[in-house]
């Protein structure tokens, strides 16, 4: 899954590159600082690599995430052997490897690989409570919705360890209050919760990451009980936050490898046929899912890179670009160009507007007031894009000049520029 990535990965890259260039923690040079990166520690981790072309920085971010998860996976394997035997450990790791979303997200260029490594480390250091609590807490600093999971794991490891798990999260919240005026990331406002979507997402994600199937047996040891309870709590949190718009069960991936520990713990006392049944179900589902769903993600990086290269000459004279998918647009935009984020992920003013992630009530006069001279619209317009296209004023002031192909499946982006007056 090395070829997998998502548009948001390039948002973090832009923040990191602006910090390195001396422009500060902001998405646009000269604009106010904004809290546009939910995993607050991710940008500092990227700083040593944030130079050169944004696409090159993205590749370095992918290596960082993949490296972190690979080290944690190796340590997990050692821990599984010590807890059981080589055969059970190999089976557990085989299912983890078959769960392609874990590999996809570790190599996505997002923070998920590091968060997964930290959650996994909290599981295999469970018998060292303080260390486990610190690892769990650091994971929650990267992914705020992991805080309840981290508190459960820390408390299960040893009563009274919860403050250690809470401290990194609290530090991030304090930095946000001091820097941006709110303890919550901007994404909380930009992406309002949807319980119905969250419930569907959580159920599907539990199946896709496979390891909950391995852990589907009543636990008896302290570590197994703790990790199962933590998983249930985290699934409930995912429902409450409304799931996620990104593919491949991103919000469940960080905790998925830890459930391999539950499997080897429960397999010690379980009848062989139940263990074999769980492994068989997980393996069959894993093969089917990998065959049907994984191929679509393997070409995303190549498609995005080609799109960025094709768009650079098109955007060469743009001063202010409005778009919903701002990651690749920011990588293709000329130096100094401003980006108007139609989703509000990096723009506090748009984030508080009515509507969801792709349906903010942005109108054409707002674009004109912000000096937008270029608008990028997806070939299958989302709600906010449809609203803009339907507005007569948009047709009067903007004209379509270019269509940029995205991959080979017929997807594309239409580029509209301001008509001369």
Assess if residue 4 is contained within a domain: no
Q: Are 293 and 310 contained in the same domain?
A: no
Assess if residue 2 is contained within a domain: no
How confident is the model over 315-374, as pLDDT tens digits? 999 999 999 999 999 999 999 999 999 999 999 999 999 988 899 999 999 999 999 999
pLDDT band at 190 (very low <50, low <70, confident <90, very high): confident
Assess if residue 1 is contained within a domain: no
Q: Are 111 and 156 contained in the same domain?
A: yes
Residue 387: domain span:
302-418
Give the chain's mean pLDDT: 95
Domain finish residue from 263, 297, 331: 297
Is the predicted pLDDT of residue 191 greater than 90, yes or no? no
SS3 for 43-100 is HHHHHHHCCCCHHHHHHHHHHHHHHHHHHHHHHHHHHHHHHCCHHHHHHHHHHHHHCH
DSSP state for residue 140 in the 8-state scheme: H
Q: Are 90 and 210 contained in the same domain?
A: yes
Tokens for 122? Answer: 């909290």
Assess if residue 80 is contained within a domain: yes
Assess if residue 3 is contained within a domain: no
Number of compact structural domains in the chain: 2
Q: Are 271 and 375 contained in the same domain?
A: no
Assess if residue 267 is contained within a domain: yes
Is the predicted pLDDT of residue 256 greater than 90, yes or no? yes
How confident is the model over 393-406, as pLDDT tens digits? 999 999 999 999 99
Q: What is the pTM of this model?
A: 0.95
CA 43-49-54 angle, to 5 degrees, is 85
Contact 62, 111 (CB under 8 A): no
Q: Are 328 and 289 contained in the same domain?
A: no
Q: Are 306 and 293 contained in the same domain?
A: no
Q: Are 285 and 399 contained in the same domain?
A: no
Q: Are 115 and 192 contained in the same domain?
A: yes
Assess if residue 261 is contained within a domain: yes
pLDDT band at 75 (very low <50, low <70, confident <90, very high): very high
pLDDT score recorded for residue 79: 96
Tokens for 312? Answer: 């650079």
Portion of the chain with pLDDT greater than 90, in percent: 91
pLDDT score recorded for residue 367: 97
Q: Are 230 and 317 contained in the same domain?
A: no
Q: Are 231 and 319 contained in the same domain?
A: no
pLDDT score recorded for residue 245: 87
244's torsion region: left (phi>0), alpha (psi -120 to 50) or beta?
Answer: beta
Tokens for 177? Answer: 């209050």
Domain finish residue from 280, 297, 314: 297
């Amino acid at each position: 899954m090395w070829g997998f990535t998502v548009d948001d990965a390039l948002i973090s890259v832009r923040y990191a590159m602006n910090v390195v260039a001396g422009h500060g923690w902001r998405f646009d040079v000269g604009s106010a600082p904004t809290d546009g990166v939910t995993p607050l520690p991710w940008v500092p981790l990227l700083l040593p690599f944030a130079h050169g072309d944004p696409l090159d920085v993205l590749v370095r971010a992918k290596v960082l995430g993949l490296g972190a998860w690979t080290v944690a996976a190796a340590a997990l394997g050692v821990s599984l052997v010590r807890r059981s035997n080589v055969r059970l450990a190999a089976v557990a790791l085989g299912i983890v490897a078959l769960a392609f979303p874990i590999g996809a997200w570790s190599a996505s260029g997002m923070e998920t690989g590091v968060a997964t490594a930290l959650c996994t480390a909290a599981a295999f250091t469970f018998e060292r409570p303080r260390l486990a609590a610190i690892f769990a807490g650091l994971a929650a600093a990267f992914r705020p919705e992991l805080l309840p999971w981290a508190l459960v794991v820390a408390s299960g490891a040893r009563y009274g360890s919860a403050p250690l798990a809470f401290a990194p999260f609290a530090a991030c919240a304090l930095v946000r209050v001091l820097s941006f005026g709110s303890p919550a990331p901007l994404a909380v406002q930009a992406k309002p919760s949807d319980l119905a979507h969250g419930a569907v997402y959580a159920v599907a994600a539990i199946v896709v990451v496979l390891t909950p199937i391995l852990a589907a047996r009543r636990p008896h040891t302290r570590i197994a009980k703790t990790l199962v309870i933590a998983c249930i709590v985290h699934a409930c949190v995912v429902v409450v936050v409304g799931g996620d718009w990104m593919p491949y069960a991103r919000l469940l991936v960080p905790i998925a490898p830890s459930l391999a520990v539950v499997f080897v713990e429960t397999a010690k006392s379980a009848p062989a046929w139940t263990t074999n049944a769980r492994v068989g179900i997980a393996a069959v589902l894993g093969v089917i899912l990998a065959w049907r769903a994984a191929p679509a993600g393997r070409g995303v990086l190549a498609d995005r890179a080609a799109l960025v290269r094709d768009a650079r000459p098109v955007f060469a004279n743009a001063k202010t670009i409005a778009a919903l998918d701002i990651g690749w647009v920011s990588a293709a935009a000329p130096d100094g160009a401003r980006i108007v984020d139609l989703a509000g992920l990096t723009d506090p003013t748009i984030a508080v507007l009515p509507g969801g992630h792709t349906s903010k009530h942005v109108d054409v006069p707002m674009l004109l007031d912000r000096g937008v001279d270029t608008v990028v619209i997806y070939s299958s317009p989302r709600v906010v894009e449809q609203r803009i296209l339907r507005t007569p004023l948009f047709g009067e002031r903007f004209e379509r000049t270019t269509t940029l192909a995205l991959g080979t499946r017929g997807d594309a982006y239409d580029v509209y520029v301001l008509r001369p007056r």
